[in-house]
Amino acid sequence: MVLASFKRGLARTRNRISHALRQLGGDTSTEVTLETLEELLYTADVGPMAEVLLEEAASKLKSGELASPSDIPSWLHGRLSELLHSSPQQPLQFAEDGPTVFLVVGVNGSGKTTSVAKLVQWLQEQGKRPLLAAADTFRAAAVEQLCIWGDRLGVECVRGSETADPASVAHDACAQLLSSDADVLVIDTAGRLHTQKNLMSELSKIARVVERQIPSAPHETLLVMDATTGQNAIQQARRFGESAPLSGVILSKLDGTAKGGAVLGIASELGIPVKFIGVGEQVNDFAVFEASEFLEALLEPQHAE
């Protein structure tokens, strides 16, 4: 199930990579092999690790540790696997007892609201009773969008008045969480305000308000990253990390890119675990991130559907 989503979502990246891997496996010179490897790593957008891997491949071929260019694909598989596991996989954290709160952050258009809806449906599948908070009050349409998802999923959506302060919406939603039979609150937030500084202080204010009512919350602060923006997303992640400690990443829009290798950069550069991936616009286009299945979907074209 998870593997099928990965494969669907990673089709573009996989096609790109499998083509390069076939070339790599062929009987070519060291020079051509390194060029192909370079192209593969850059087009898949693995980030600064590309350079490290290239140098390593060159020196291993030179020293004879890798006997021939045709040893490159399996070596690469091993190294990518190590990279993916460099930020340990962590399951979603729930409150030990009492209700759980997840805060979802990210730039406008990254797929936050859609990811919140996907997460809510996933939580329902786990037997949870979610509640939504529409704390992106900067745009009226954003509140509407979230609450429409809430209606479709049969989940209550806490919203403020038109000009409500997002922290007050978060406050009301926590009160609702504590007094209702819902057990997980998912808070959607704004991705843009008049200034970056405003946005960051608003997000930390939301986190403080939540913590005041539920001391162990938020249990997760999830950053939604648009996979199609590749390495730029890493810069965004650093900025968001300044407002609240990020506990995980939801990597959206993997279906729309050949740069699925960005996951490797996130793992090795940010040290924040990727917890979910989004592979389409529907609520079902969502999967828990599993490093080994991701790698299989990425590197093993013979299993393609």
In angstroms, what is the minimal distance from the CB of 228 to ligand GDP?
9
Query: Which residue in 85, 98, 281, 292 binds ligand GDP (CB under 6 A)?
Result: 281
Cα 235 from Cα 111, distance rounded (Å): 17
Which of Mg ion, ligand GDP, none lies near 220, with the C-beta cut-off 5 to 8 A by kind?
Answer: none
d(CA 25, CA 27): 7
User: What is the Cα–Cα distance from 277 to 280, expressed in whole angstroms?
Assistant: 10
Which helix (H) or strand (E) covers residue 142, if one does?
A: helix 140-153
- Site residues for Mg ion, 118-177, by CB under 5 A, read 142
State how far the alpha carbon of 291 is from the alpha carbons of 105, 116, 217, 267, 277, in Å: 23, 22, 27, 10, 11
In the complex, residue closest to ligand GDP by CB? 278
**Quick check: 182 and 130 in contact, CB under 8 A?**
yes
Q: Please, are residues 18 and 36 in contact by the beta-carbon 8 Å criterion?
A: no
Of 95 and 153, the one with the shorter C-beta distance to ligand GDP is: 153
Interface with Mg ion, residue 49, by CB under 5 A: no
What 3-state DSSP class applies to 11? helix
What is the smallest separation between the CB atom of 148 and ligand GDP, expressed in angstroms? 11
Pick from 24, 189, 194: which is nearest to 113 by CA? 189
CB closer to ligand GDP out of 40 and 226: 226
Q: Which stretch binds ligand GDP (CB under 6 A): 23-31, 65-73, 106-114, 200-208?
A: 106-114
CB of 106 to ligand GDP, least distance (A): 6
Q: Which of 33, 113, 221, 257 binds ligand GDP (CB under 6 A)?
A: 113
110 binds, among Mg ion, ligand GDP, none (CB under 5 to 8 A by kind): ligand GDP
Instruction: Work out whether 104 is an interface residue with Mg ion (CB under 5 A).
Output: no
Contacts with ligand GDP in 236-265 (CB under 6 A)? 252-253, 255-256
Kindly state whether residue 150 participates in binding ligand GDP, applying the rule CB under 6 A: no
How many Å apart are CA 239 and CA 234, to the nearest integer? 9
Give the tokens for residue 259: 């740069």
- The CB-of-9 to Mg ion minimum distance in angstroms stands at 21
Residue the block writes with tokens 């913590």: 211
| Backbone phi, psi, residue 132, to 5° | -110, 145
Tell whether residue 171 is a contact of ligand GDP (CB under 6 A). Answer: no
Of 104 and 214, CB closest to Mg ion: 104
Q: Which is nearer to Mg ion, 14 or 112 (CB)?
A: 112
Cα(177)–Cα(130) distance, rounded to whole angstroms? Answer: 9
Identify the residue among 111, 150, 218, 265 touching ligand GDP (CB under 6 A).
Answer: 111
Strands 286-288 and 274-278: antiparallel
Residues that bind ligand GDP (CB under 6 A): 106, 108-114, 191, 252-253, 255-256, 278-281, 285
Residues that bind Mg ion (CB under 5 A): 112-113, 142
